[in-house]
Each structure stands twice: as C-alpha cells, then as structure tokens.
Amino acid sequence: MCVCKMRPYTCLSSLILLITFLFTCVNSEDPYRFFTWKVTYGDIYPLGIKQQGILINGQFPGPQIDAVTNDNLIISVYNYLNEPLLISWNGIQHRRNSWQDGMSGTTCPIPPRKNFTYTLQVKDQIGTFFYFPSLGMQKGAGGFGGIRIWSRPRIPVPFPPPSGDFTILAGDWFKLDHRRLRRVLENGHNLPFPDGLLINGRGWNGNTFTIDQGKTYRFRISNVGLTTSINFRIQDHKLKLVEVEGSHTLQNYYSSLDIHVGQSYSVLVTADQPVKDYYVVVSSRFTRKILTTTSILHYSNSRVGVSGPVPGGPTLDIASSVFQARTIRRNLTASGPRPNPQGSYKYGLINPTRTIMLANSAPYINGKQRYAVNSVSHVEPDTPLKLADYFNIPGVFYVGSIPTNPTGGNAYLQTSVMGANFHEFVEIVFQNWEDSVQSWHIDGYSFFVVGFGSGQWTPQSRSGYNLRDTVARCTTQVYPKSWTAIYMALDNVGMWNIRSENWARQYLGQQLYLRVYTPSNSWRDEYPVPKNALLCGRASGRRTRPF
Ligand SMILES: *[C@@H]1O[C@H](CO)[C@@H](O)[C@H](O)[C@H]1NC(C)=O
Ligand SMILES: *[C@@H]1O[C@H](CO)[C@@H](O)[C@H](O)[C@H]1NC(C)=O
C-alpha cells in the first residue's frame, strides 16, 4: 500500500502504483462489454397523447444491460439533448469508484452535444437493477432501462434455469413534460397526482409476455416511477419470490407484491393454469384514487383473450404491506455472487460502532415547499462534491453540514454532507413522522434491513430486529409514522448519495451525501479520478491526471 501525501506524480512509487492499478482495476480476467448510447429526444405516446421522451438508441425504455458478475461495462454516452445529462445506476456499487455514480454530487454532467464514457465494474454483484437519468426530473421523460447481472457459470443459482427472463419496468407517469414538472417543484409546489401507470413504457394492454404452458419464467420487476408505490400481480398465478436487489430470498409464494419507488424484485411464475390469456397488473398503492394498468400474459397456444375483471390488489391498507415486508428474508444456504452461501456473512453478530438517525420532513422554506433530512434541505453545490474534495477546493461543502440525528430545529437550506470512516459498521434508522410511505436508497452499498416498526424508534426497538436472515438490498421503504432500521458495513470509500427515491422529494432536498473517508490515499481503497473525468464549476480547467 502506498501512502502518498504529496501530489501523486511527485511520489516515487507512483509508477509502481500505476502498474498495480492497471492490474487491479483493469483486471484482464474480467471481461469487458462495450455499449454506445445515443441519447435523444423523440416522440412517445405512452398514454395515447404525444409526449417528448428521452430515448436511448431510439428506444423507450432504453436498452437492457446484461452483465455477468465482475464484468467491466464500458458505456459511451452521447448526449444529443439540448441540456446536460447524467446517467445513474441504481444498485450498482461502483466499488472504490464513486466517480462513476452519475449523481450531481459526484460527477459533472455531460454537456449537450458532448460524450462521456462510464467505466463500471459490477464487482461481486448479481441481481436486478436499473439505470436512469438523474438530473432534474428527466427520469419523468424516460431514459431508464433494466440491468440484469447474471451469476458466473459455475456459481449455483438456487432455482432451475427459467424458460424465459422478462423485465418489467413499471411506475407512475405524468403528462407534463419533465421541464414543467421541474418548474412546478421550483415554484415551491408539489407534483400533481400522476396521470397513469406504465409497464415498459406502455399503458393498458400495451405489452404481451408469451409463455409456454407448464414452463416457469422469471419476471424482474422494478419500480422506475417518480413518486408512487405500486402493487404487482398476475391474474390466477402465484409469484414465487427468488431475488431482491441482489439477495436470493426464501422462495415464498405471494399473490401480489408491493414495490416501492426504486425497488426491484424477481419472481418465478409457472404457467400452470388453463390455456388462455391473463392480466399482468400494476396498481398504485397508498393512493386514494387508484391507478391501474395491465399487460398480457399470453399462453403460446392460447386463442382466448384476457377475460374477467382485472384482479384487485391492496390499496390503502398498510398493515398487510408491513407484514409482507417482514416475510422477505434471505435464503441462508443459497449462493450470491460467490460460491459460499450468502448467509455466511453474520451481520447480526457485529456490534454497530454508532447509530445514525435520518428523519424526513416536508418544511416550507422561504414560502416554498421543500423536503429535508434532520432539518437540512440539500441544495446542489456549484461543483460536484467529489471533485471539490479531490482538488481541495474550499467553500463548496463542509463535512458535518448535516447532523447525525434529528435536532427538531427549523429546516434550512444547505449542501448536506455527513462524514464517516472507512470500515465503520453503522446502524441507520430512518425515522418517518410524515403520513406518506418513504423510499430510501443508498448508492455504493447493499445494506441489511434489520427492522420495521411503528412510532418512534428507541434503543428498545432493537429487540425486534431480524439479526439472522434479512435481505441485503439498496432501497428500503419506511411506513407512515414508522421507522426502518438498517445495518451497513462502510467498506466502500467514496462520496455516496443517500436519497429519497421519490424524485420530487429528492429534487427538493430530501437527500445527503455520505463521505466515506480513509486517510490512506491508496488506490487499493479508492481509484483516482478517471482521466476522462468531466470538469465543471470551480473544478474547471484543473489537471486530473499527471501521467
Ligand atoms: C467524445 O468526447 C471527447 C472529448 O471529451 C472527444 O475527444 C471525442 O472525439 C468524442 N468522441 C466522438 C466520437 O465524438
Ligand atoms: C435455498 O437455497 C438452497 C440452495 O440452492 C435450495 O436448495 C433451497 O430450496 C432454498 N430454500 C428456500 C426455502 O428457498
């Protein structure tokens, strides 16, 4: 390990380091997959009326990414929009490499008419995730797509290979253009109620999934919407849950699944019903007015279209959702990305070094609707935090600008950065005093969801934790007037976004950055700034790489 306090090029060992770097992060054993994406505006008609969508290579939703554990993904993005663009990768951990995270606190946007190449490694990951454009409300115009990370060939998967593997990107949709959605928020108002739900970019019966009778299929469902929890179900068919954001689960059967914004689930569905067509249904959850949309599950030899009422699902009821959440557990004897069973990591035997509590709120600041965490409503810095940190640019942010516990004080605007040390093992409690369901996401990590409870969390709440077989995932819900507790091993150095996946709340300040820090300055802990890094704000014109 090289401890290099000077600029790297003045350090004699830098050449050796460079060689080490080339062998560690450009690992010749791990395959490369190359993608070229042209991002444009184009006409889409998801709810029957023409809208301007964000297309990738002409597609809405964008192309699916298929990768195998440890693959290097080289994704060249050409921005043909007339505004800046950033692509973020929900659930990809970017080990040692928050430079690729694609949030405005880590990376400069790709300016119009420019290109940028993301270099991601899906190190030690499997499972179902998605990507999306992270700036403004662009996610409300498309630009998202599925990511499937397959197990390496010799790693056992705890179910037989399915006969097909379908991706379902579902979520709420607004007829308002993404710029107008942003203007609504900037004017200090909340978003209107969504106009509908989409499945893979289409409305009512807009997709057909064709299956053969007697066979079993995997459906990977992600909620890519802006604000609304959804319920997923298939008429007359059971859903056998097998994977949640990279964790293989106990294979329980469900008649329907709640999927909060930003979450991903895999289920197996066996075509064990009479030959005909069936509804695949998503409906809005916890909304007074219920939005519903359907696709068609088509038995290949069926001549009978869908019939019967669209099956109903849970709507306002919260207790059933909490109950279901507690049944989602990890299969302790199944492999994850490595051959050893994933449950061999005994998170429940480790004592957290500290407890961080993050409480969301919806204050008015200067007469405008904002959202806050521990009274701090995050505002974008003029320079990405990661770059400000790297170049030691003062005045962009300070570590500790958000308290680690709620203060009860008045909310204020601030660029919000919390400090943490590499190798800490933390307990984070998301405390929700509001009436709405929250969905929290942490970039760069997979965390253990140890408990859901109602009311105010107290140290006694720990007695109800699942310290044995909960799932590790990257996005968790918090029920109204309730808390959710997670354990997280801070084993990934970087500047990581912690955010509401409700994109209106995120945009209006319900987010922060966790700066996981080590003084070591070693490339074994964190990669140096990429040589193609875009520079902006006060980092413009700096030198990124001396070599
Ligand atoms: C991509 O951008 C770089 C500069 O950032 C430029 O040198 C390169 O020519 C661009 N590639 C294409 C194909 O336009
Ligand atoms: C857990 O995984 C093992 C190993 O693949 C498998 O045999 C078993 O059926 C799974 N158990 C449950 C309850 O899902």
- DSSP letter string, 439-497: EEEETT--EEEEEEEES---GGGGGG---SSBPEESEEEE-TTEEEEEEEE--S-EEEE
Instruction: Give the residue from 150, 184, 218 where a domain finishes.
Output: 150
Atom of ligand 2 nearest to the CA of 249: 14
Q: How far is the CA of 115 from the centre of ligand 1 (A)?
A: 6
Domain count, the chain: 3
Ligand 2 — pocket residues by CB below 6 A? Answer: 156, 158, 250-251, 331, 333-334
End-to-end alpha-carbon separation of the chain, Å?
19
> CA of 94: how far to CAs of 18, 193, 342, 390, 489, in Å?
20, 34, 20, 17, 15
Ligand 2, from 333, 338, 471: best to mutate by most atoms within 8 Å of Cβ? Answer: 333
Identify whether residues 99 and 229 lie together within a single domain.
no
Q: Is residue 342 part of a domain?
A: no
The residue range of the domain holding 121 is 12-150
Dihedral sign for Cα atoms in the order 274, 278, 280, 284: negative
Residue minimizing CA distance to atom 5 of ligand 2:
158
Q: Which atom of ligand 2 lies at the shortest distance from residue 332's CA?
A: 1
Query: pLDDT tens digit string along 461-487?
Result: 999 999 999 999 999 999 999 999 999
pTM over 0.85: yes
442 alpha carbon to ligand 2 midpoint, in Å?
28
Neighbours of 187 (CB within 10 A): 9
Ligand nearest the Cα of residue 155 is 2
232 close to 324: Cβ distance less than 8 angstroms: no
**Nearest ligand, CA of residue 115?**
1
pLDDT of residue 29: 82
Residue nearest atom 13 in ligand 2 by C-alpha distance: 250
Among protein residues, the one whose CA lies closest to atom 12 of ligand 2 = 250
Pocket test for ligand 2, best of 151, 243, 331 (most atoms within 8 A of CB): 331
Which ligand does the CA of 76 lie closest to?
1
Residues 360 and 492 reside in one and the same domain: yes
Distance CA 185, CA 345 (A): 43
Looking at the structure, do residues 213 and 68 belong to the same domain, yes or no?
no
Residue count (the chain): 547
Give the 3-state secondary structure of residue 59.
strand
pLDDT digits (tens, 9 = 90+) for 5-52: 333 333 334 444 444 444 444 555 899 999 999 999 999 999 999 999
Query: Which among 279, 296, 327 is the end of a domain?
Result: 327
Residues 317 and 444 placed together within one structural domain of the fold: no
Which residue has 């190449």 as its token pair? 117
The residue contributing the CA closest to ligand 2 atom 6 is 158
* 247 C-alpha to ligand 1 centroid (Å): 38
Q: What letters, b where the CB count within 10 A reaches 16 and e where it falls short, cover 164-176? A: ebbbbbbbbbbeb
Give the span between the Cα atoms of 47 and 448, in whole angstroms: 38
DSSP structure class, residue 140 = G
R_g (Cα) of the chain, nearest Å: 23
* Position in ligand 2 atom list of the atom nearest CA 251: 14
Ligand 2 mean position, distance from CA 336 (Å)? 12
CA distance 199 to 180: 23
State whether 193 and 125 are in the same domain. no
Same-domain status, 66 and 110:
yes
94 Cβ neighbours under 8 A, 6+ residues apart: 100, 101, 120, 121, 443, 444, 492, 494
Q: Which atom of ligand 2 is nearest to the CA of 331?
A: 1
Mark whether 452 and 492 lie in a shared domain: yes
Distance (Å, rounded) from C-alpha 547 to C-alpha 538? 22
- Say which CATH number the domain at 207 has: 2.60.40.420
Buried-exposed string 344-368: b where 16+ CB fall within 10 A, e elsewhere: eeebeeeebeeebbbbbbbeebeee
- State whether 446 and 384 are in the same domain: yes
**Type of residue found at 416:** S
Ranges of the chain with pLDDT below 50: 1-25, 547
Query: What's the DSSP call for residue 435?
Result: S
The phi, psi pair for 504, rounded to 5°, reads -70, -45
Domain-embedded: residue 341: no
Per-residue model confidence (pLDDT) at position 12: 38
Q: Which of 83, 116, 150 is at the close of a domain?
A: 150
**From the CA of 250, which ligand is nearest?**
2
Residue nearest to atom 4 of ligand 2 (CA): 334
pLDDT tens-digit readout, 246-264: 999 999 999 999 999 999 9
Residues 174 and 259 in one domain: yes
Residue whose CA is closest, atom 7 of ligand 2?
158
Report the nearest atom of ligand 2 relative to the CA of 156.
Answer: 5
Nearest CA to ligand 2 atom 8: 158
Same domain, 285 and 203: yes
Q: Atom of ligand 2 at shortest distance to CA of 158?
A: 5
Q: Which two tokens stand for residue 419?
A: 């400090």
Distance CA 97, CA 350 (A): 26
How many other CB atoms are there within 10 angstroms of residue 398's CB atom? Answer: 11
Percent of the chain with pLDDT over 90: 92
Give the Å distance between the CA of 108 and the centre of ligand 1.
Answer: 16
* Nearest ligand 2 atom to alpha carbon 159: 5
Find the ligand nearest to 531 CA.
1
Closest Cα to atom 9 of ligand 2: 158
Residue 343 belongs to a domain? no
Order of strands across the sheet with 438-442? 417-421, 511-517, 494-500, 438-442, 475-478
Q: Are residues 297 and 321 both part of a single domain? A: yes
How far is ligand 1, taken at its centre, from the CA of residue 26, in Å? 22
Surface-to-core class of residue 7, CB atoms within 10 Å of its CB (0-12 exposed, 13-18 middle, 19+ buried): exposed
> Do 454 and 408 fall within a single domain?
yes
Tokens at 26, concatenated: 């450009």
Rounded distance, CA 325 to CA 331, Å? 15
Q: How far is the CA of 136 from the centre of ligand 2 (A)?
A: 42
What whole-number distance in Å separates Cα of residue 342 and Cα of residue 336? 5
- 471 CA → ligand 2 middle, Å: 14
Q: Is residue 357 part of a domain?
A: yes
- The string of DSSP letters for 345-392 reads S-GGGSPPSEEEEEEEE--EETTEE--EETTEEE---SS-HHHHHHTT
Residue of the nearest CA to atom 2 in ligand 2? 334
Half-sphere exposure of 185 (CA within 13 A, CB side): 21
Would residue 218 count as lying in a domain?
A: yes
